[in-house]
Amino acid sequence: MTRTLGKDLLGLEPLSTEQIRLILDTAEPFKEVSERQIKKVPALRGMTIVNLFFEASTRTRISFEFAEKRLSADTVNVASSGSSVQKGETLVDTARNLEAMRINMVVIRHSASGAAHFLADRIQSNVINAGDGTHEHPTQGLLDLLTLRDHFGSLEGRRVCIVGDVLHSRVARSNIWGLTKMGVEVAVCGPRSLLPKDISEFGVTVFKRIDEAIEWAEALNILRLQLERMQAGYIPSLREYNRVFGVTRERLDRVDHDVVIMHPGPMNRGVEIDSDVADGDQSVILDQVTNGVAVRMAVLYLLAGGRPELADAAKRGSER
């Protein structure tokens, strides 16, 4: 049984079921920290973390930053604009320079698949992948797992369908790995032009029609559909996408069971998801956001060498 996560968190594919469960279990005690009046524990006091965001992000960057600050780490945010990256500096030089300032961890978001691997192979610091190209977004996968586990009580045997642009989605990949490793039955549904050719080799069911997916699923994880996909010719129009694949109240009402609604954000209301679904009583979209902070605290804590059994004590903080 592997207890530790190793040096980096690059994706959910390389993690064992045991490691994923460890992160989820470690996140539990950290949830409460965010509910306090004073949202801070000293677990990572004295550690330096750089949030290296080469791609625009609001939600993920803020979520990581809160997680770091609530664990008392010192953080620096580097965005691609205004840094030497724009002067043509390579990724590896940027990273080495940061490391020369004796940091402990790097959280990296990058538009190239494999960028986090590239960095992890070349620097001593812990590397956390906050989304690399169309590869993985492991902390999003983990917070989705935590949210589903909170809702259902357990994950084993549940049926989750990922809806939309799986081809270009790092969230989809991390979800597929995480869910299947935790014993969830996984399906995908979307236009064939937005699913990888060999998607069934991931061990997932493929639904051609959204109604079949809704009929089957206990939860839908609805992916953002980017406008660029239409411009690149993968689909004819956002309007038709909504008519054929959009998750609407009407479609949900046709089945006689409840379907939990998830979305990694940011949402295109009226495209992949209708507002009354996003804001409806089956939606756990804001729970996902809340859980994001706890899961990221758990990942930071474990990578920093924190012992899982002490997470509860760690959160009590200065009482120790």
Contact residues toward another protein (CB under 8 A) are 13, 90-92, 110, 112-115, 117-118, 121, 132-136, 170, 173, 196-199, 201-202
Measured distance CA(7)–CA(4) in Å, rounded = 9
Measured from the CB atom, the residue of 16 and 90 that comes closer to another protein is: 90
- Eight-state DSSP code of residue 76: E
Measured from the CB atom, the residue of 70 and 170 that comes closer to another protein is: 170
Closest distance to another protein from the beta carbon of 43 (Å): 32
Measured from the CB atom, the residue of 137 and 251 that comes closer to another protein is: 137
Measured from the CB atom, the residue of 9 and 27 that comes closer to another protein is: 9
User: Are the C-beta atoms of 191 and 234 separated by less than 8 Å?
Assistant: yes
> Residue written as tokens 């760690």?
314
Measured from the CB atom, the residue of 92 and 255 that comes closer to another protein is: 92
Closest distance to another protein from the beta carbon of 240 (Å): 23
- Eight-state DSSP code of residue 235: S
Measured from the CB atom, the residue of 78 and 91 that comes closer to another protein is: 91
Closest distance to another protein from the beta carbon of 231 (Å): 14
Measured from the CB atom, the residue of 85 and 310 that comes closer to another protein is: 85
Question: Using CA atoms in the order 167, 173, 176, 179, what is the torsion angle rounded to 10 degrees?
Answer: -150
Which is it for strands 159-163 and 205-207: parallel, antiparallel or unpaired? unpaired
Closest distance to another protein from the beta carbon of 27 (Å): 25
Residue 230 sits at the vertex; the CA angle it makes with 228 and 235, to the nearest 5 degrees, is: 140
- Eight-state DSSP code of residue 223: P
* Inter-CA distances, 231 with 1, 222, 226, 235, 238, Å: 47, 21, 9, 8, 10
- Eight-state DSSP code of residue 277: H
User: Are the C-beta atoms of 173 and 145 separated by less than 8 Å?
Assistant: no
CA 286 to chain centre: 14
